[in-house]
Amino acid sequence: MLHRLMWSPVWDIAMRGVGLLWTGSVLYGSLSGLVGFIEKRHEVPSIVFTTAIAARVAVVFFVLLVFVLFVFRLRPLAKARGVGVRVVALAGTFLPTSLGLLPRYEDSALLNLASFTCLAIGNALAIYGFTYLSHSSSIMAEARRLVTNGPYRIMRHPVYAFEEIAVIGYALNYLWPSRVAAFALLILVSHAWCQLRRMRAEEDVLQAAFPEYGEYKQHTARLVPGIY
């Protein structure tokens, strides 16, 4: 019954709605944060301010792209079965936002600079990856079409790899004091575990939907070329 429900138009509309609500709220928060940070431009060193603006603009464009792709994505050809893979997918998507519940350490200009640099680079690269994934994007493990061009020529999950750079950047400002760092590291490790499980589920679905995926896997790395 659950499997039939997940293939119904109602389920598709509901999942698009959840994605749009989430990305819309994040987009609103990102824009508000960008405007608020610009108003405080005289309170931070110029190099930190410039890097922070680049990071926040990259976040805005990344979330805006995801918002648009939720509207125009293709219908899936195959989906992963079971509740567990869906819980893992949701956790992999939403866990990083829980870092914002922790008190942020803002007294280190160097740490802020490193954080904003990772955020800017990670989100800019994720935007690049999403332009190739395009209408095949999804939170859940689903197959829409097989993408093997662009960064997908050398790794099977470039968007996840690029997003992780941004997530690490986001977490940098929560690594002090030690009691906060313990929670931040727990969130990071849990997120990484969920993402790895998510990748395996997506590969299983893609293998079932596209027989040629097996050959593609033999010539590409999962995340880091030459290593993993």
Residue 36's pLDDT is 86
Tens digits of per-residue pLDDT, 146-187? 999 999 999 999 999 999 999 999 999 898 888 899 999 999
Residue 208's pLDDT is 94
Q: What angle do the packed helices 9-39 and 46-72 form, to 10 degrees?
A: 160
In DSSP notation, 53-118 reads HHHHHHHHHHHHHHHHHHHHPPPPSEE--SSHHHHHHHHHHHGGGGGGGSPP----HHHHHHHHHH
How much is the mean pLDDT over the chain?
91
Residue 130's pLDDT is 94
In a domain, 11, yes or no: yes
In a domain, 95, yes or no: yes
Tell me the C-alpha to C-alpha distance, in Å, between residue 224 and each of 117, 125, 158, 176, 221.
20, 14, 9, 29, 6
Can you give the pTM of this predicted structure?
A: 0.90
In a domain, 226, yes or no: no
Measured at the CA of 76, the angle between CA 152 and CA 71, to 5 degrees, comes to 85
Find the domain containing 202 and state its range: 2-218
In a domain, 225, yes or no: no
In a domain, 22, yes or no: yes
In a domain, 135, yes or no: yes
Residue 224's pLDDT is 93
Tell me the C-alpha to C-alpha distance, in Å, between residue 130 and each of 73, 172, 181, 217.
12, 25, 31, 20
**Which parts of the chain have pLDDT scores under 70?**
2
In a domain, 224, yes or no: no
Residue among 187, 75, 59, 71 at smallest CA distance from 125: 59
Tell me the CATH number at 106. Answer: 1.20.120.1630
Measured at the CA of 123, the angle between CA 22 and CA 140, to 5 degrees, comes to 45
Tens digits of per-residue pLDDT, 25-47? 889 988 998 898 888 888 788 88
Which residue bears the tokens 């070329």? 225
* Domain count along the chain: 1
Residue 136's pLDDT is 92
How far apart (Å, rounded) are the C-alpha atoms in residues 205 and 105?
41
In a domain, 223, yes or no: no
